[in-house]
Amino acid sequence: MKLSEAKRDYYRKLAKEKGYRSRASFKLIQINKKYRFIQPNHYVIDFGAAPGGWLEVASDLVSSKGKIIGIDITPIEPIAENVEIIVCDINNKKIDKEIIKNLGRKADVILSDLSPNISGIWSIDYNKQIDLTLSVINRLPGILNHGGSCLLKIFDGPKLRMVKDNLKNKFTEVRLVKPKASRSSSSELYILCKYYKPVFN
């Protein structure tokens, strides 16, 4: 068995033991343990939330006084009292108003683990994933508080620098992270951005 496959099996088994819906839960756990960008009482939006692994982790981190909105085109089974689910496409233009209506205000943290349905053709899958990430970035002014944070999945490739430079104009701190729970052979990375500084024209 390859090392990456062994790691995947390890976290899949661990997720089952801990009662998490997805091995991806450990990616968020590991990143937040190091950078602590999700805190008690925070309001959080999670794009690409199905099956709910990140929602479970975030629910515990924000405590009962925090609140989370999970968004996905796939229905998600209920998580906890502080989590609400919106079944919707990320490209729906009305989603921002629906988010704010349900959340009650702008978020402190934006999470995005968005990934396209993989076709197996790298150039197509790569560009689709970048487009999904840019969809989240483009709506930040309407949904993220000044000083807030975001964690965005991104595939490593030729557009990575463009996306990172875009985010450097919006956040004080921008860094690439790859948690241990991610397969080492995967092109999957995460961009962690802290201290949002929106610029309005």
Name the residues annotated as catalytic: 153
Tokens of 155: 């595939």
- Written as one letter, the residue type at 169 is N
CA dist 161 and 69 (Å) reads 29
CA atoms within a 13 Å half-sphere pointing along the CA-CB vector of 169: 11
Q: What angle do CA 197, 27, 66 make, to 5 degrees?
A: 55
Q: How many CB atoms lie within 10 A of CB 38?
A: 23
Residues with Cβ < 8 Å from 2, sequence gap 6 or more? 185
Report how far apart, in Å, the C-alpha atoms of 201 and of each of 8, 63, 141, 198 are. Answer: 45, 36, 11, 10
CA dist 80 and 55 (Å) reads 9
CA dist 87 and 65 (Å) reads 23
